Amino acid sequence: MLKVLLVDDEMYVRKGMHELINWDELHMEIIGEAENGLEALNMVECLQPDVVITDIRMPILDGLELIRAVEKLPHLEPVFIIISGYHDFKYAQQAIKYGVHDYILKPIDDEEMTATLQKSAQMICNKRKHILLAEEQACSIMLVDIIKGQVRKEDEHRYAEVLGINRKSSLLMALIELQTGLDKRKVTIEQLREALHALEDDYSTMFVIEQQRGRFRLLLLWNEHEYDGENPVLRDKLLGIHLALSDRLKLDIGLYAGTLVKELGDVPQSNQEAEEAARHKFAEEGGVVQYAEIRDKPLYVFNVYQDEVDQLILSLEEGNRPAYHKIVEDKFKLFQVNRFSPQAVTGSLMRSITGILAVAKEMGGNDEGLQQLKELAQQSHEGWNLRLLKDAFLIALEEAENYISLLRSEQSKGDIHKIKRYIDAHYTENISLKSIAALFYMNPVYLGRLFRKSYNFYFNEYLLSLRIQEAKKLLRQTDLRMYEVAARVGFQNADYFVTQFEKLVKFSPTEYRNRIKGNDQRGAR
C-alpha cells in the first residue's frame, strides 16, 4: 500500500478526501493529516509518505515552502499533488518548477483526482523498479567479483557495506540446481529472488546470481552467534530453503553448500566446496549436500563393465521388459551405494546407449528411430537427479525395444521373401521346411509360422500347389509316365503324387490328361 499524507487548513476538505476517493482500490492508505506546512514537514520526516496532497495557501508554512523544505531532506522524494482554488491557479503553476506531479482545482472532482493518483502510483512503481534493478545489477557484479576472488583487500569494506556484511556475519556459498531433466522449464532470476526473499529472517540474508540456465549461485550471510558450520541448525536452515523452493517452484531442487567462512576473501573457497558437494549429488539422498558431510567420502569415477551392458542389451533384444527394468533398477541403486560421480554415471549410460545404437545399426536401423536415447546421450549430468535420469533412461529403453522389434519384423519380412524365391526356384527338388530352415539359419517352427503369417499359406500347402501346377503342365505338354512326372516335380513316391494330385485337382493325373486329350479331339472335328 502506498502511504498518503493530506495537508490542508480546512478540515472539511481533508474529511471530504476520505469519502471522495476509494483508497483501497488504488492500493493506497491515508496515514496522516496536517493543518499547515510546518506540521506537514514534521510528519513527512516521521511517516515518510509516498504521496503528499497539499493546499497552496496555508498558515505558518505554505505549500510551496513545504515542497522546498522536503526537497532538502535526504532519502525522501514523495510525489506532490497540489489542490488549489481558482484564484490560486497561477500560483499553483509555479509549483511545477519544483517537481510537483500535478495540480487540481477546487472543488475536487473525484474522477480527476483518482486518475491523478493512478498516474502517481504508476510513476512511483516505475521509479522503484529502476532503483531496484540498478541495485540488483550492482550486487550481481559485486558477487561475481567476490566469487572469483577479484576483490582487492582495500576494497573489501566497500563491498561489505553495499551488501550489508558486518563483522558478525559469516558467509556461505551454495549452488542451486533446477532438476528438470528433459523438461526445460524456465525459472527467472526474479522468481528465484522473490522466493528466497520470503525465506530471509533476522539471522540470514541471501543474494543470488544466475550462473547458467537452471543453475544459480547463492551467497548466504549468517549471524555468527546464531549459526555455526558444525551446528545442525545450519543443516535445518538449508533443508528449509530446499523444501520451500521445491514447493514454490514445483520442481526438484538440488542445493549444494560449502562451509561458512568469516572473510570476504575466503568466499571463493566456500564456492569451490559447493562445486565439490555438487559432484556428490548422485551419491547422497535428499537433494541437499553439504561439503562438511562429504569432504572425506571418496567418489567412484569409473563406469560399469561391458558384461553388465551386454546383459541389458540382450534382455532388450529379447523384448524382456521386466528383465531390463530390473537391470536398470539395480544399476541405479549401484550408482548411489557405490557413490558414482556424475561423470561415471554419464559414462555408464553412454556405454549402454552406444551398444544399443550399434545393435539398431546392424539391423539396418538408424538414430532417427531412437530419439529418446539420442536426446539422452546429448544431455550433461547437470539439471538431473537419479530419479529423473532413471525414468528418462527407462522410457528411452522402451522406445528402443519397440524399434528393435520393428526392425526385426522388417528384417524377417526380407528373409521370408528370399525364402519364398528359393522355394519357387527349387520346388522340384527334394526340399522340406526343415532343410530350408537349416539353409537360412532359422528355427523350422518359427519359419513355418512366419511363412503362414506372411502369405496366408502353410509351407506344405504352398509347396504342393507349386508341384501340382507344374505336374499339370507336364501332363498337358508331354507324354511322360506318371512316375516320371512325379519325379520331375519333386515327389519321391508316384502313389503319393497321385493321391495329392487327386486331392487338389479332384481328378487323377490320368483322368486329367485324358480330359485334355478328349477336348483336343472334339476341337479337331
22/186 Cα distance (integer angstroms): 39
Alpha-helical segments (H) within 75-155: 89-94, 110-147
pLDDT of the residue at 44: 92
The residue to which cell 520526516 is assigned: 45
The residue to which cell 484564484 is assigned: 87
Q: Which three cell numbers stand for residue 490?
A: 519333386
pLDDT of the residue at 166: 77
Within 10 A of 318 (CB to CB), how many other CB atoms are there?
12
pLDDT of the residue at 228: 44
11/378 Cα distance (integer angstroms): 73
DSSP string of 142-171?
HHHHHHTT---GGGHHHHHHHHT--TTEEE
Query: Strands of 215-223's sheet, edge to edge?
Result: 204-212, 215-223, 169-179, 252-257, 288-290
pLDDT of the residue at 413: 67
Q: Which three cell numbers stand for residue 285?
A: 539422498
Q: Is 378 strand, coil or helix?
A: coil
> What is the 3-state composition of the chain as percent helix, strand, coil, each rounded to the nearest 5?
60, 15, 25
Q: Domain 2-127 classified CATH 3.40.50.2300?
A: yes
Low-confidence ranges of the chain (pLDDT < 50): 132, 225-229
pLDDT of the residue at 43: 93
CA atoms within 13 A on the CB side of 159: 20
The architecture in CATH of the region 153-292 reads 2-Layer Sandwich (3.30)
Alpha-helical segments (H) within 279-385: 291-294, 306-317, 321-337, 342-362, 371-377
pLDDT of the residue at 136: 63
Closest CA to 54 of 43, 71, 67: 67
pLDDT of the residue at 76: 82
pLDDT of the residue at 478: 92
pLDDT of the residue at 280: 95
Q: State the fold for domain 427-524.
A: Arc Repressor Mutant, subunit A (1.10.10)
